[in-house]
Structure 1
Amino acid sequence: MTKQKLTDKEITTAIAKLPEWKVVDGKLNRAFKFDSFVAAFAFMTKVAFAADKMDHHPELFNVYNRVVIDLATHDVDGISNLDIDLAQKINDL
């Protein structure tokens, strides 16, 4: 899949369809809360497999039962179509 940097308007339109995602410091961002550390870590593992299939890797942050994910495409210096696609896959998990 070709990486394409999105305009601010395209990002706004896309995240309207991605519940709980927002733009923070130029990256798509979402926080998740789980019942336990193990549940949070299991989720991160699922995200890792989905991201690796796309060859597009997120920034994952974990503290106990919380996972925070940031998505940006460094090659295009911003948010791309790959970030939107990965955010949707993450929501589907």
Structure 2
Amino acid sequence: MERLSEETRGTLLSPLIDAGWSVQPDRDAIEKTYKFADFADAFGWMTKAAIWAEKWDHHPEWFNVYGKVKVVLTTHDVDGLSTLDIKLARKMDGLAE
């Protein structure tokens, strides 16, 4: 796994930024807060996302309060963003629809 290159970074991140993700200012990571109707919906989404994260061996940093889930994605092995972060962000967005 490699850190995103400057050449691919804009192309891969742009659609995620349009979908509500943002780049953290203090580290090479992206974040998004998902809002759900209630705790059960939020936890159900987290369970589905966790299955994919485990399957891909790429685990998010996340924080849940009632119907909100804040997600931070970065690849610790490369100390920054990788294609795994892009892949998991897209999957999480798809699961939230």
TM-score w.r.t. length of structure 2: 0.86
Large movers: runs of 4+ above 4 Å: none
Aligned to 1:21: 21
Tell me the distance in 2 between the aligned counterparts of 1:32 and 1:87. 12
Query: 1:30 and 1:8, CA in 2 relative to 1: closer, same or farther beyond 3 A?
Result: farther
Tell me the distance in 1 between the aligned counterparts of 2:31 and 2:74. 9
Q: Work out the percentage of aligned pairs sharing the same amino acid.
A: 46
Tell me the distance in 2 between the aligned counterparts of 1:14 and 1:8. 10
1:17 to partner: Cα distance: 1.7
Q: What is the aligned residue count?
A: 91
1 or 2, which has the higher helix percentage? 2
Decide whether the 8 Å contact of 1:44 with 1:60 is kept in 2: no
SS of the equivalent of 2:42 reads helix
SS of the equivalent of 1:89 reads helix
Give, as a single letter, the amino acid of the residue that structure 2 aligns with 1:4: E
TM-score w.r.t. length of structure 1: 0.90
Give, as a single letter, the amino acid of the residue that structure 2 aligns with 1:49: I
Larger deviation, residues 64-73 vs 22-31: 22-31
Larger deviation, residues 57-66 vs 13-22: 13-22
1:12 to partner: Cα distance: 2.6
CA-based RMSD? 1.2
Tell me the distance in 1 between the aligned counterparts of 2:29 and 2:45. 20
